[in-house]
A and B are shown apart, each in its own frame.
Chain A
Amino acid sequence: MPFRTLLAGTLLGAWLFAAHASARQTVESVAAGALQAGTAPAQVRYELGAVVDVRRASANGVSILAITPGGAADRLGLQAGDQLRAINGRRLDNTPRPSSTLENALQEGDGALRVEAVRNGKTLAFSGRADAVDPAPRKGAQACGYVSTLAGVVPRSKGVFEAEITQIDGRSTPLQPTNRHRVDTGKHVLVVREFIDPARLSSAQLQQIAKMKKFALARAYKPLVIDVEPGIGYRIGARLLKDKLDTQSIRDNAYWEPVVWEKVPQACP
């Protein structure tokens, strides 16, 4: 066989393999741990144990919005409302990209935390240890589960309708419909959008819902925290609460709730 034919065959095979892998990736989005860690070797990450608004930095730094109970920030004595000005010597005030600056500062400290914060106009210094987080330990094929809104037939007779998962653990899901999302075992936060059948609602109720959604936008979505067990697929839907279809309940977006309507065994490859 001529060398050129052999080379062409090899290249074609490689291209087909890559195309197959790419197609599979689009069908099955890998969420949570995979998004965080990718394929890099497992290494300890350090966290502050707080929710920080890293979208913008002011002259005093970035705002702490909440403290995770028992976390590093809680142990240090930081409070919600404090402004983080510097961590491990890295300044966060007037930083163009506070998110990456904070992340780098935490990882560079190798577990040590030296924090400069502003509280009620006073500058305070804190020191201690960051939270060490092991990437999700892989337990072979059973270390993950799936969440889905497209699998199975939604039990409409039980008042459950179609839904869409818009975020998993704070990250947006792909725009194109995805059969199922792979997630590591453990707690996960899903944000769900309802697609309740309009035929089940009166025209007045539909008008009220449309009006509410127009103002609420993504606020009309609802969170669902699920504890993913290994090798289990969770089918998610939106349950219509028929006793909460009055004007005030619709205005409060209380007429539905996200639910797990079925759990099925699904082995992780």
Chain B
Amino acid sequence: MIEPTQVREQLHALPEIPLPDALWRRVDAKRRQKLQRRKLGAGIATLALAAVMAAPLLLPMFAGADRAPGEQIAAHPPMRGEHDVQAELRALDHALQAAYDRGASDAEIAPMWVARDALLTGIPSGNSAIRRSRI
């Protein structure tokens, strides 16, 4: 029976096998590739984390983009010519008069005066008839 020590000695006695010259270069290249992949992964993860954290700050920008032309939600028509303004002014004056006719309170009537004043502010200053009618 062969003793383990003998086996160890026999193995030690075996000649050293010469390694291929390119082996260490290949091992080194593989290690570098692995390191690069790790760095790339870490970079992507950092960017993703930054994007998640910045999302609440960027939301208002996207909300603004939602209100692009063609969107249903609209407080005012996008473009108003002078004819539209005049028609709007007539509608407001009719509404105001109707409110005074029914004896509405000043508080009830006030929002319509605000709208009328805002409309007049948007009219070019050359329109003397309109400027004269301001109160």
| A residues adjacent to B (C-beta < 8 A) | 49-55, 65-71, 74, 79-81, 99, 103, 155, 158-160, 166-167, 169-172, 186-189, 191, 216-219, 221-225, 227, 239, 242-243, 257-263
> What are the residues of chain B within 8 A of A242 when measuring CB–CB?
60, 63
A158 lies within 8 A of B66 (CB): yes
If the complex has contacts A260-B72, A260-B73, A261-B72, are A243 and B97 also in contact, measured as CB distance less than 8 A? no
> What are the residues of chain B within 8 A of A171 when measuring CB–CB?
98-99, 102
> What are the residues of chain A within 8 A of B130 when measuring CB–CB?
69
B86 to chain A, nearest CB (A): 6
Within 8 A of A (CB), among B88-113: 88-105, 107-108, 110-112
> What are the residues of chain A within 8 A of B63 when measuring CB–CB?
158-159, 242
| B residues adjacent to A (C-beta < 8 A) | 60, 63, 66, 72-77, 84, 86-105, 107-108, 110-112, 114-116, 127, 129-130, 132-135
A107 to chain B, nearest CB (A): 14
A158 to chain B, nearest CB (A): 6
| CB < 8 Å neighbour of A70 from B72, B102, B129 | B129
Chain B residue with minimal CB distance to A227? B77
User: Complex formed: what's the CA distance from A259 to B118 in Å?
Assistant: 17
A-B contact pairs, 14 of them (CB 8 A): A52-B97, A55-B100, A65-B135, A66-B116, A79-B132, A81-B135, A158-B66, A170-B104, A189-B91, A191-B112, A219-B111, A221-B111, A225-B92, A259-B75
Chain B residue with minimal CB distance to A190? B95
Query: Max chain B CB contacts within 10 Å: which of A188, A189, A262?
Result: A189
If the complex has contacts A188-B91, A189-B115, are A69 and B75 also in contact, measured as CB distance less than 8 A? no
6 closest A-B pairs (Cβ-Cβ)?
A170-B98, A170-B99, A187-B91, A170-B95, A189-B95, A67-B133
User: Complex formed: what's the CA distance from A169 to B88 in Å?
Assistant: 11
